[in-house]
Every structure is written in structure tokens, then in C-alpha cells.
Amino acid sequence: MSMEKKLALRFEYTSRSTTSTQTQQKDGHLHNAGQAPYTVNSTNRVDLMASGRLNLNESMALAPNPVADPGVRVPKARARDIVHLAEQAGDILARAREAALAPGTKKVLRKFNLKEVAELIGVSAKTITRGVQRNELPAGERVRGNRLLFTLEEIHEIQERLGLRPWRDAAMDKAVVVAIANFKGGVGKTSTAIHLGQYFALHGYRVLMIDLDAQASLTTLFGLLPDSEVATEQTALPFLEGETATLAAAIQPTYWHGLDLIAANLALYGAEFSLANRQKAEPNFRFYQALKAGIASVSDRYDVIVIDTPPALSYVTTNALYAADGIIVPVPPAMMDFASASLFFSLLGDIQKVIDENEGGEKVFDFLGLLISKYEPGNFVHQTIHDWVRAAFQQRVLFHTMGTSTVLRMGPEIQTAYEVGAYQGDRRTLSRALEYLEGVNGEIERLVRAQWPSKAAPRSVAKPERLATAEAVS
């Protein structure tokens, strides 16, 4: 982005509240006390918005010159100024989201090349090309250079034809519910959840993702605007309120074949009150059991159910934990996050004790693992806290960590690492991100599969069974 565009962008946001130290001059310049004027160029500004290249990080980096006297620079604030701040922030967010996700436009998943498909399914590329040549496998799309590209649906079809679907055995194995939880905000719960759900879908499992956070980050990542494109009926709220008998009506398919979603929006906050009221009003109702019953009503269609939880010890979070077979707790390697993790376990332990007493039994989670998230291996502080976390929680800490590069710098484009086809930045950044994800998600996949008696052997040793061409390849 040109400097002029950046500055125009900055003006766009500052000009809405001209403070005592900022004045817009007739010459089209915005003057800050003691600073050089910024050029205002409305055409650039419009172009920037229209092209959807609004980059919030860049606009934030353009904060006023920090050396200006703070006593003059930072304005006083009354309630109405604060309300105005909220409006300004809301405005920026709405524009960023519009640029990335125009209402009504649907996200589409990219296609995957032969190498990716072969790796995902665990067969050689030759097996696939021969299958395609013999019309035994979906044809895919031939693009420039005679390369083959496949949709996720075609990948699943290839798995099906090769007898390599990794589905659980309906008679022997249960659908495994994994909750991603930590009462601390911003530790990487949503990021972990979405990449995990998408990993399972990529590998051919049937996945349901449940967004239980009224802030709806997960829902937004699936390309839905929570305020305008998610109806209350598409969230868990009606079920938690006791208005629907199953969770089925809340489920919607996504542009990821094999991955369904129960979305969230702000109305989901209402679940807190409903659950508390129902506990008082309905004699046999236990507020923490509701979601588990809801999941049981739909789980026969899925292999894995991934729940993203809000950063709070709420009734809704307690429901997610009660419904969970396994819990993954992301913890960034920072002092405050380490302290919060220990508080989280203390509170979770207390809640579980009370629930166990109530239920007259002892719930055993199939797994409860910590995931070191947002990790920079070259950062000395991160290394130190990483070592503490491992020393304190030992086997409970996942072997793999989630490095910082997992979140790619993509400006306002709302995409996960799996969705990025051609990355604008350094190609190695994307490969590193995918390596981290492969490590962490592969480890959680093994934890899930360990709960399935029929799948004692890991997925990678499975051999193609049905296709003649597959047998020809060792």
C-alpha cells in the first residue's frame, strides 16, 4: 500500500472526531499539533475500501507521533466520548468485515492439488492419477500445465472409492466431543478450534463444530456475519432455552464438505439467563446437562464434534465442559497466561467436584491436554515459560506446540491456514504454519482415535482396499 493511501486511511478514521489538537485545513491537510500535515486523498480512500485491502494492523501502526507531549495529545474523555470511541471502533470493524466478507457473498473453499490430495489420503499421487485415467476416481479439474485440482468433496469421494474413509465404526465407537477451553481471553481457542475442525474434515472425518461464544469469532471465520446472516434458530440458543427437542434444527452445512456448524451470535448471551431460570423453574433440570443431551441427539451423524467456548466461566462454558469427552486448553507461553491456566484448573476442578457430587459419580475425561499456543521458538522468554509449563504439567502438555506463524498476516481477509492457496508473503511462512498445524492436529487426531476400539491402528498404516489400480502401487 502506498504511503499516501495509508495516510488517507488514517485520516478517514481520525477525521470523524476532530479533537482540540487536530484540525482539517482548507488545503485538504489534517494537522496534528506539532506534526507535519497529512495528505488527504479521498479517491485513494474509496479505492482502498472498495478493493477490500483495508489492513487494520497498518492503520493502527499509524497512531499519532508518540513523542508529542501526551498531556496535549491524549484527549480527556467523558461518557459520550467513550460511546463515540465504541462507535468509531464498530465502524472500522464493520468496514473491515464488509471488505472481507461482503454480505450475501458466500465463501468458497479452494481446490487442492494432486500432491496435497495424495498426502491427505495417504496414497501415492500415481494411485490417484491412474484411478483418474481409468475413470475409477473423480476426474478433478485440469488446469494450466496439465495439473489436476480436486474439490474437498472429490477428495472425500476418492477416499470412499479407495476404501480409506476414516469414519468411526458406528456400532463400536462413539463420536468424540472435544472442547477447546480456557477462561482467559485471546489465548488461541478459536484459532485452535477452527484449524482442528478443518483438519478433521480435510482428512475425511464427519465433523460438527459448535460456536458457543456469543462473540461469534468461529462463525465469522466461516464467512457468516453473525448479526445479519445468523438466525437465532441456527445457534444453540433455542435448544438451551428448551424450545427445541434436538439440536438438529440449528445445524447448517458449511462450504467445507463434511463439516457442519452450529453458529453463534450475540443472542447467545441469553442462554446464561435461560439456563439459570430453567434450573429454578424445572424440577429435574440441571443447567450443565443441556448441551450434552443436545449433542447426543445429533452425534450419530458425526465422528468428531469440536466446541469453541467463550473466555468465561459461564453456564454455557460449563455445559461445553460437561458435554466434552476431551478438553484442549491453549496456553500461550506468557507469565499471566500461565497464572490463568492454573486458575482455570482450580476452578474446573471445583466445578467438576460439585457436578460429581450432584451426579453421584465421577466423570473421567478421556483426555485433558494443554497446548502451548502462540509460541515463538526463538524467544527466550517463551522458551523459559514453555519449559515451566512442561515441568509443571508434564504429560498433560501436548508434544507439539502451536507457533505464532499459524496466524498468517493476511490483512482483513478472513481465512485459515488451510484455506490459503497462494500466500502473498513468504511461502515458507505458510509451510511452517501448516507444519505446526499438522503436528498439533495430528496429535489430537490420535487422541480421538484412541477412543475408538475399532481403530487401534493409526490412519497412516491403512492400505487401499478396493481399487485395482491402488494394488498395483506399493
Ligand X SMILES: Nc1ncnc2c1ncn2[C@@H]1O[C@H](COP(=O)(O)OP(=O)(O)OP(=O)(O)O)[C@@H](O)[C@H]1O
Q: Does 189 bind Mg ion (CB under 5 A)?
A: yes
User: Which residue, 184 or 189, has its beta carbon nearer to Mg ion?
Assistant: 189
Q: How far is it, in rounded angstroms, from Cα 269 to Cα 213?
A: 8
What residues contact residue 337 under an 8 Å CB cut-off, 6+ apart? 184, 187, 331
Question: Does residue 117 contact residue 151 with C-beta atoms inside 8 Å?
Answer: no
Q: Does 337 bind ligand X (CB under 6 A)?
A: no
Report the nearest approach of ligand X to the CB of residue 405 (Å). Answer: 7
Q: Does 404 bind ligand X (CB under 6 A)?
A: yes
Q: How far is it, in rounded angstroms, from Cα 213 to Cα 263?
A: 9
Within residues 207-266, the interface with Mg ion by CB under 5 A covers: 217
User: Which residue, 22 or 190, has its beta carbon nearer to Mg ion?
Assistant: 190
User: Which residue, 44 or 441, has its beta carbon nearer to ligand X?
Assistant: 441
Q: Does 311 bind ligand X (CB under 6 A)?
A: yes
The CA distances from residue 307 to 14, 70, 191, in Å, are 39, 44, 12
Phi, psi of 361 (to 5 degrees): -155, -175
Report the nearest approach of ligand X to the CB of residue 245 (Å). Answer: 30
Q: Does 191 bind ligand X (CB under 6 A)?
A: yes
Given 12, 211, 213, 260, the residue binding ligand X (CB under 6 A) = 213
Report the nearest approach of ligand X to the CB of residue 403 (Å). Answer: 6
Q: What angle do CA 145, 150, 153 make, to 5 degrees?
A: 170
User: Residue 402: which of Mg ion, ligand X, none does it interact with, CB under 5 to 8 A by kind?
Assistant: ligand X
User: Which residue, 207 or 467, has its beta carbon nearer to Mg ion?
Assistant: 207
Q: What angle do CA 249, 254, 256 make, to 5 degrees?
A: 140
Given 374, 386, 400, 449, the residue binding ligand X (CB under 6 A) = 374
Q: What is the DSSP letter of 110?
A: P
Report the nearest approach of Mg ion to the CB of residue 407 (Å). Answer: 13
Written in H, E and C, the secondary structure of 191-215 is HHHHHHHHHHHHCCCCEEEEECCCC
Given 190, 265, 317, 318, the residue binding Mg ion (CB under 5 A) = 190
Nearest Cα residue to 188 out of 308, 314, 93: 308
Q: Which stretch binds Mg ion (CB under 5 A): 39-47, 145-153, 154-162, 181-189?
A: 181-189
User: Residue 185: which of ligand X, Mg ion, none does it interact with, CB under 5 to 8 A by kind?
Assistant: ligand X
Nearest Cα residue to 10 out of 63, 48, 78: 63
Alpha helices in 28-78 (DSSP H): 42-50, 56-61, 70-73
Question: Does residue 340 contact residue 184 with C-beta atoms inside 8 Å?
Answer: yes
Report the nearest approach of ligand X to the CB of residue 254 (Å). Answer: 18
Given 8, 99, 187, 268, the residue binding ligand X (CB under 6 A) = 187
The contact set with Mg ion (CB under 5 A) reads 189-190, 217
Q: Which residues bind ligand X (CB under 6 A)?
A: 185-191, 213, 217, 311, 373-374, 402, 404, 406-407
